[in-house]
Structure 1
Amino acid sequence: MWVRLLLLGTLTVAALAGVGWWLAPTHRINPDDPAQVARGAGLYQAQCARCHGAQLEGEPNWRIRKPNGELPAPPHDASGHSWHHPDSYLFAVTKHGLAPFVPPDYKSGMPSFVGVLNDDEIRAVLAFIESRWPPEIRARQAAIPQQ
């Protein structure tokens, strides 16, 4: 009986730790933290602006495929669709690129930032992007369940 209780307790703690680990990459994205947003602004300009635009405006005609089959880089401002996704997804796509999340024949120019940006830097970039959304968009995005 005690062995079963100990095993059950151990499994419960492990499960809770796993959930905490899974959500940890995104829980520190804070668009209200001036230091994180400022850090993210510089990183965004250095790593993201050449495709997504200096003002988060994206590439022109971002919904129309290029001749090579890729979609142009979408805007990250309120006119785009970034805010339709939870932080966990935005973090994962920024870190690993789009390839792990789409069919093998889907063409995307979104690179992986593994080895380029660390997790805190990715969170800072996302905090910067989110800081630029109007309050109603931020509220709608924050209400999306994490995946």
Structure 2
Amino acid sequence: MKNIRVAALGALIGAVVIYGIVTYFTRDRGSDTKVELRPNDLQLVARGKNIYDANCAACHGAELQGQANWRERGADGLLPAPPQDETGHTWHHPDALLFALTKYGPAMMAGRGYKSAMPGFKDVLSDEDIIASLSYIKSRWPEEIVARHDQINKSAAW
């Protein structure tokens, strides 16, 4: 029983920390951009494909397949780029977190000296460009994964 309480407390603390990080990095900073992916907006998705191809495909793959052995750190200590399709973990995260990871980079989000080959794109892409590229990625997921991701977004709405 004690282990269950400790695990529950750990889960609660983890959720609060994640919420704090997402809130900090996605709070309104003079921008009226709402962080909501729109995979059914064909014009936005077409724009997102161009942005993805120019800025993301070199690492994450033209077919969103990611790099080989993406779960294992390389000799440089860095994780290879994960797939952005349904075989990866991207869809496990709510829109706001995906946006923040793309805008600020995993190292900034994780803090404490975390190393990542992925840069933040805040000085390269506009907020709408980031939403477009992520909308393109989501548009490529199978229907059941999109539904699960939508549920994750509902659960993350505090």
TM-score, with length taken from structure 2: 0.75
- The verdict on how the C-alpha distance between 1:120 and 1:46 changes in structure 2, with shifts beyond 3 A counting, is same
The reply on whether 1:31 has 2:5 as its aligned counterpart is no
Please say if 1:85 is aligned against 2:93. yes
% identical equivalent positions: 49
Gaps of 5+ in 2: 1-25
Matched residue, 2:146: 138
Is 2:59 the partner of 1:51? yes
User: Deviation digits for residues 9-46 of structure 1, max 9, x if unmatched?
Assistant: xxxxxxxxxx994894313x200010000000000000
Q: State the secondary structure of the residue aligned to 1:143.
A: helix
State how far apart, in whole Å, the 2-side matches of 1:69 and 1:111 are.
16
Q: What's the counterpart of residue 102 of structure 2?
A: 94
Task: Give aligned pairs, total.
Answer: 128
Answer yes or no: is the 8 Å Cα contact 2:102–2:130 preserved in 1. Answer: yes
What TM-score, normalized to structure 1? 0.81
Q: Structure 1 CA distance, aligned partners of 2:157 and 2:117? A: 25
Is the 2:49–2:136 contact (alpha carbons within 8 Å) kept by the matching residues of 1? yes
Alignment partner for residue 126 of structure 1, among 134, 138, 148? Answer: 134
| Residue aligning to 1:76 | 84
Alignment pair present for 1:42 and 2:84: no
CA contact (8 A) 1:25 1:119 kept: no
Verify the 8 A CA contact 2:33 2:127 in the aligned structure 1.
no
Q: Note the C-alpha offset of 1:142.
A: 1.1
Name which one, 1 or 2, has greater alpha-carbon Rg. 1
Question: Which amino acid in 1 is paired with 2:103?
Answer: K
> 1:66 & 1:83 partners in 2: Cα distance?
24
Separation (CA, whole Å) in 2 of partners of 1:25 and 1:100: 21
Superposed structure 1 runs of 4+ greater than 2 Å apart: 19-25, 103-106
Shift of 1:146: 4.1
Structure 1: tracts of 5 or more residues without a match: 1-18
Q: Supply the distance in 2 between the matched residues of 1:105 and 1:95 (Cα, whole angstroms).
A: 18
Alpha-carbon distance in structure 1 between the residues aligned to 2:74 and 2:157: 31
